[in-house]
Chain A
């Protein structure tokens, strides 16, 4: 799938995935877009509140487990649109790559530590990326991002607004009920 990226005729799809936390726990939001970051599908998850047993069982690995294996994996798998790349703003989601055959990149600043097993690659518009994937994928995406004109950070602002809207809507619905 990823090899088609360099084919200009290939319809590229991105999945922008982030996870937030509120009083009810962790919840994920996933925006599937076309190559120009235009929305195709938006999906949010229910909140996950880990219990004490899970805290004991997973210890420090709980957060990455909930982020990548529980929330992110479910969101991506349930989506009706296959994506060529998952973009996240959270390093904990990079573990998704071990569960699904889709490259995952995380927006990164220069000073951010490089998570184990990831490649540092230059993203579009000079943004730094940590890629969870093979060396071949790292080379492929380096070529792919070279000259690509898209702001990979911007869709997360839209996701934030959309999440707020869904929260408002839920509140309204609950109040009405």
Chain B
């Protein structure tokens, strides 16, 4: 800064009274004079060399502040988020895919939905989140709705508000138990949370453990809700699994409890560290001493999320043991029941159907894809091969009746193995019934045939099943329905589509299981609507059992395609009866052509 400028500054408002004479100074000297020594400048503008020692000495020096303000900055850097462009086209495709969530009525559209600030859901840092940077990171995440309304993350359907709250709950937590009632979409909430955490750069690898029959379902749900996440199912022989565990760097690894237990205890799973481990049906580790619980808890991880609709099945210890995984050491083993809530509440989210859908009970349909048991698979393959060979032998003489018989035979095997009675569907139903009973609800099970219903009645004895099908004399039927309604111990009624699908008011039930699929989705809808009708106070949860890689899956695909087609053409006008399979489609199930029709002469 040169002295000339200093002289001008000294003429300022502050200094005029004190140094009026300085206004006459017009120095052009190139001297090391700073703001500190302006006050000793001579009146006549001629510097006396004897003045120089005073230039920097108090009390002659008046210090002026810096003319250019200085600022410091403080900075926090966060993990690098993913920058991939959202695939909106995929979302559009998925919207029309007829998936299990087609009941979710809200659809994405090209028009941007502007959500008022007060309705936005923001991820909040936790009370016990002591790292300031971590708190800031969550505060600075975009609101969850914004992620969906923009094109960053494509979803087949917009999640329900309670699901968005669940996602906001899960995202910042290292320890979480999501204990929503069955059918509220725990899996969806977990998958979307995982996806958003990947997007934020907060996750790199995830391990999901679930019961064996649910592996297929998880695979499908992951594909549907997080198609951009690479998923690997850990399976195969020991060597293959070793590679999956230790060499593969796939972002999401999926394993069933049996394999996880074996591989951890035998050292096959290695000593890998996961950013997140999720356990589905967490009641599987409710027995602390079990090998499964030991294996699950021994996996090294940063975050631990557990999922179950029944966190306490029998005793309060169940929850304590689940927390051995969720937050080791948080809940001492002898904690009295009264203390449990205060120790665990920060990490648990649970919504009932009534809470989730307070106004209008929703109907939530889930397709449950199940793998045949080995016995069923063997019987199925044999019957299919023989059947197709037989059809081929018949050649042009094959009729739709022949194909129909084969289809029926295969569908029956999908229900139960004729020789051993093994059934993956029955196993799944038994597991689901635990929750039906635990929530003091009632369930309706539909089948095309009476025989499987009788078989199920045996297996479901603990739930006091009632039967309602064509073999039940008409005069007994109303009594059965009354008993189902009034008897608190009667948790399930087994119905045939033919007898039970029309005209009954069963809105006191809110679980419907379609043990096998009817030919026509309109009939299925009617069956489901026995429970989902006026007067229903709770969300109705419908599970459609489909055996994977069987005729059932192929039929479901054809029916879904037809339903979509009709929905597009005849919107809101109901489903015509022609939704069932025609002759060509029935032949098409086995890649056969229908017999050529004779042309009239």
Contact = CB atoms under 8 A, between A and B. Distances in A.
Contact of B136 (A11, A54, A162): A162
A117 interface: no
A34 B83 contact: yes
Nearest to B199: A38
Given A53-B14, A74-B73, A78-B73, A31 B140 contact: yes
A46 B141 contact: no
Interface in A150-177: 150-151, 154-155, 157-159, 161-162, 165-166, 169
B146 A154 contact: yes
B77 A41 contact: yes
Contact of B9 (A46, A53, A71, A74): A53
B200 interface: yes
B147 interface: yes
Nearest to A51: B65
Interface string A38-55: 111111111010111110
B114 interface: yes
Interface in B39-97: 64-65, 67-78, 80-83, 85-86
Given A31-B140, A38-B199, A165-B136, A125 B71 contact: no
B139 interface: yes
A39 B80 contact: no
A45 B73 contact: yes
A43 B72 contact: no
A112 B150 CA distance: 27
A149 B151 contact: yes
B67 A37 contact: no
B66 to A, nearest CB: 8
Contacts of A54: 65, 67, 69
A117 to B, nearest CB: 24
A96 interface: no
Interface string B310-344: 00000000000000000000000000000000000
B539 interface: no
B81 A36 contact: yes
A39 B141 contact: yes
A61 interface: no
A132 interface: no
B135 interface: yes
Contact of B142 (A41, A74, A154, A159): A154
Interface in A12-38: 12, 27-28, 31, 34-38
Interface in B143-198: 143, 146-147, 149-152
Nearest to B78: A39
B137 interface: yes
A131 interface: no
Interface string A45-79: 11010111110110000000010001100110011
B81 A38 contact: yes
Given A38-B142, A53-B65, A53-B67, A44 B74 contact: yes
A38 B72 CA distance: 25
Given A34-B81, A149-B150, A70 B71 contact: yes
A166 to B, nearest CB: 8
Interface string B92-120: 00000000000000000000101001000
A113 interface: no
A22 to B, nearest CB: 14
Interface of B: 9, 12-14, 64-65, 67-78, 80-83, 85-86, 112, 114, 117, 122, 125, 132, 135-137, 139-143, 146-147, 149-152, 199-201
19 contacts: A35-B85, A36-B83, A36-B199, A38-B141, A38-B199, A38-B201, A43-B75, A44-B73, A44-B74, A46-B71, A54-B67, A56-B12, A57-B67, A70-B71, A74-B73, A149-B112, A154-B146, A155-B142, A158-B140
The 9 closest A-B pairs by CB, nearest first: A38-B81, A39-B140, A36-B152, A149-B150, A43-B75, A46-B72, A45-B71, A48-B69, A51-B65
